[in-house]
């Protein structure tokens, strides 16, 4: 087996959407045996999985893939056509996805993992150029979209801020978008106004990706967040259907939570607990949309302790989007809203997954996600940022129609990456 047995088994459980109990029953082994195969190799309890089990699991996955391919062929055409907007290959909102199409995208992201983990290289986008147009601050979205494009063999041109683009001279979105279309093969755009990225998209026939449109949406962030939740749950032996998700912080202006809650609503029977200071609650139109799907329960809690006391599976903390409103409105954001070690230890179990889209505001008085959780393996924030690469590679591969070429394009890397990219990464966090 070319990948570690733990990685192989976790991926298998996630792809088959099975808990540890159901998976062990499906492959006919005791749950205890499965647990020992999933332990780190250094552990006293670790056992090697017999080859025959590996072959059996591969066979189950192959059959499952065939069934899915058959199901897809009975739908209409490639993924990029099924998620298209007005016939154009763009990613503007999570509303473009169904549960099936999002899971199809994640299978493509899985294919990208050896590239993202720096074991393999691919050149399927050789010759293609990405235009990164960021009119608001960004580290993750701009750099990870750029890196994802480069890791598929393409190259990137960037422009950041209004000052250094001709929008500072009064150029319109239409003209900017049309001009860029003559230079590049895809665009990622971040802009402070809701709906502005859709305006860029209307003015071009090349793929456009919404990298955040003011307080509107941040669809690629929500996709990588959902991918992270599914990956973490597979490690923990949980399913997303029926899970309890707490969203904390600025739910009014936070575009990541607007996209994420709609995407999560594609699953069944979730409980959402929303914890926001007065005045920063989740907008009603989004709550109504979520309420129309899948038998979900939505509760609003007045304090973090009240919100977390019901035993949540995921805590998704967010930064107060200070850039979107006047300073006096900030007063409600007290220390009581801070996700920190004390509140997590008091209200949550060992299996909770703590997430944040980042950046977290580490300045004194910001009361954002505390750094005192940095050495707590329940904190998934850097596993989350790492997942930005395979998910964004998958988005490009789909929008540019090369996802079918990736598997056969893979070559070994020529350099030696570190086994763990971060000095504090826990065992399951590293590169495989």
**Interface positions, 314-353, toward ligand CP (CB under 6 A):** none
Beta bridge partners of 355: 316
Q: In the structure encoding, which two tokens stand for residue 36, read together?
A: 């020992």
Q: CA–CA separation, 225 vs 233, rounded Å? A: 12
Residue 311 CB neighbour total at 10 angstroms: 11
**Interface positions, 114-143, toward ligand CP (CB under 6 A):** 138-142
Q: Which partner, ligand CP, ligand ASP, none, binds residue 139 by CB below 5 to 8 Å per kind?
A: ligand CP
Among 5, 176, 256, 259, binds ligand ASP (CB under 6 A): 256
**Residue window 200-229: x/- pattern of binding to ligand CP, with contact defined by CB under 6 A:** ---------------------x--------
Q: Which partner, ligand ASP, ligand CP, none, binds residue 90 by CB below 5 to 8 Å per kind?
A: none
Nearest-approach distance from CB 290 to ligand CP, in angstroms: 21
Give the DSSP H or E segment for 220.
helix 219-236
Nearest-approach distance from CB 137 to ligand ASP, in angstroms: 8
Cis peptide before 359 (omega within 30 of 0): yes
Q: Which partner, ligand CP, ligand ASP, none, binds residue 319 by CB below 5 to 8 Å per kind?
A: ligand ASP
Nearest-approach distance from CB 392 to ligand CP, in angstroms: 11
Nearest alpha carbon to residue 128 among 153, 147, 145? 153
Nearest alpha carbon to residue 207 among 109, 81, 91, 87? 91
Nearest-approach distance from CB 279 to ligand ASP, in angstroms: 17
Kindly tell me the burial class for residue 326, based on how many C-beta atoms sit within 10 Å of its own C-beta (0-12, 13-18, 19 or more): exposed
Q: In the structure encoding, which two tokens stand for residue 95, read together?
A: 């509303």
Q: CA–CA separation, 33 vs 303, rounded Å? A: 42
Among 302, 310, 332, 359, binds ligand CP (CB under 6 A): 359
Of 410 and 421, CB closest to ligand CP? 421
**Interface positions, 287-326, toward ligand ASP (CB under 6 A):** 319, 321
Nearest-approach distance from CB 357 to ligand ASP, in angstroms: 4
Q: In the structure encoding, which two tokens stand for residue 414, read together?
A: 């020529």
Helix, strand, coil abundance in the chain, percent, nearest 5: 45, 10, 40
Nearest-approach distance from CB 144 to ligand ASP, in angstroms: 11
Q: CA–CA separation, 252 vs 321, rounded Å? A: 9
Nearest-approach distance from CB 11 to ligand ASP, in angstroms: 28
Q: Which partner, ligand ASP, ligand CP, none, binds residue 255 by CB below 5 to 8 Å per kind?
A: ligand ASP
Q: Which backbone phi and psi does 214 adopt, to 5 degrees?
A: 50, -135
Q: To the nearest 10°, the Cα dihedral for 402, 403, 408, 410?
A: 90
**Interface positions, 345-374, toward ligand ASP (CB under 6 A):** 357
**Interface positions, 193-252, toward ligand ASP (CB under 6 A):** 212, 218
Q: CA–CA separation, 198 vs 210, rounded Å? A: 8
Size of the site for ligand CP (CB under 6 A): 9
Nearest-approach distance from CB 61 to ligand CP, in angstroms: 32
255 makes contact with ligand ASP (CB under 6 A): yes
Of 114 and 254, CB closest to ligand CP? 254
Say which DSSP state 329 is in.
Answer: G
Q: CA–CA separation, 58 vs 53, rounded Å? A: 9
Size of the site for ligand ASP (CB under 6 A): 7
Nearest-approach distance from CB 320 to ligand ASP, in angstroms: 8
Of 255 and 383, CB closest to ligand ASP? 255
The answer to whether 299 and 247 have CB atoms below 8 angstroms apart is no
Beta bridge partners of 156: 130
The answer to whether 13 and 23 have CB atoms below 8 angstroms apart is yes
**Interface positions, 281-320, toward ligand CP (CB under 6 A):** none
Q: Which residues bind ligand ASP (CB under 6 A)?
A: 212, 218, 255-256, 319, 321, 357
Q: Which residues bind ligand CP (CB under 6 A)?
A: 138-142, 221, 357-359
């Amino acid at each position: 087996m070319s990948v570690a047995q733990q990685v192989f088994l976790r991926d298998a459980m996630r792809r088959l959407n099975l808990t540890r109990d159901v998976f062990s029953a499906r492959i006919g082994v005791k749950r205890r045996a499965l647990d020992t195969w999933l332990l780190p190799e250094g552990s006293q309890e670790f056992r090697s999985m017999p080859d025959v089990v590996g072959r059996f699991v591969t066979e189950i996955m192959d059959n499952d893939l065939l069934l899915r391919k058959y199901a897809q062929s009975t739908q209409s055409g490639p993924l990029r056509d099924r998620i298209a907007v007005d016939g154009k290959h763009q990613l503007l909102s999570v509303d473009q996805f169904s549960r099936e199409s999002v899971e199809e995208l994640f299978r493509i992201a899985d294919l990208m993992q050896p590239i993202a983990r720096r074991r393999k290289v691919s050149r399927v986008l050789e010759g293609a150029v990405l235009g990164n147009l960021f009119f608001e601050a960004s580290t993750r979205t701009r750099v990870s979209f750029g890196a994802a494009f480069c890791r598929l063999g393409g190259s990137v041109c960037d422009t950041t801020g209004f000052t250094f683009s001709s929008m500072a001279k009064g150029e319109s979105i239409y003209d900017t978008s049309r001009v860029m279309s003559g230079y590049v093969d895809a665009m990622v755009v971040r802009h402070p106004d809701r709906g502005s990225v859709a305006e860029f998209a209307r003015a071009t026939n090349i793929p456009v990706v919404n990298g955040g449109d003011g307080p509107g949406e941040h669809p690629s962030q929500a996709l990588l967040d959902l991918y992270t939740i599914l990956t973490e749950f597979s490690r923990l032996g949980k399913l997303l259907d029926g899970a309890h998700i707490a969203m904390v912080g600025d739910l009014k202006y936070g575009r990541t939570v607007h996209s994420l809650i709609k995407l999560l609503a594609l699953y069944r029977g979730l409980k959402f607990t929303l914890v926001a200071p007065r005045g920063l609650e989740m907008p009603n139109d989004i709550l109504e949309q979520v309420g129309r799907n899948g038998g979900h329960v939505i509760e609003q809690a007045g304090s973090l302790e009240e919100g977390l006391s019901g035993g949540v599976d995921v805590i998704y903390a967010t930064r107060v989007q200070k850039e979107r409103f006047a300073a006096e409105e900030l007063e409600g954001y007290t220390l009581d809203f801070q996700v920190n070690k004390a509140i997590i230890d008091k209200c949550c179990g060992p299996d909770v997954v703590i997430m944040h889209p980042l950046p977290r505001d580490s300045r004194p008085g910001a009361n954002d996600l505390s750094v005192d959780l940095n050495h707590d393996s329940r904190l998934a924030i850097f596993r989350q940022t790492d997942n930005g690469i395979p998910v964004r590679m998958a988005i490009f591969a789909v929008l540019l129609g090369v996802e079918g070429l990736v598997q056969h394009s893979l070559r070994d890397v020529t350099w030696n990456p570190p086994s763990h990219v971060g000095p504090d990464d826990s065992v399951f966090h590293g590169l495989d």
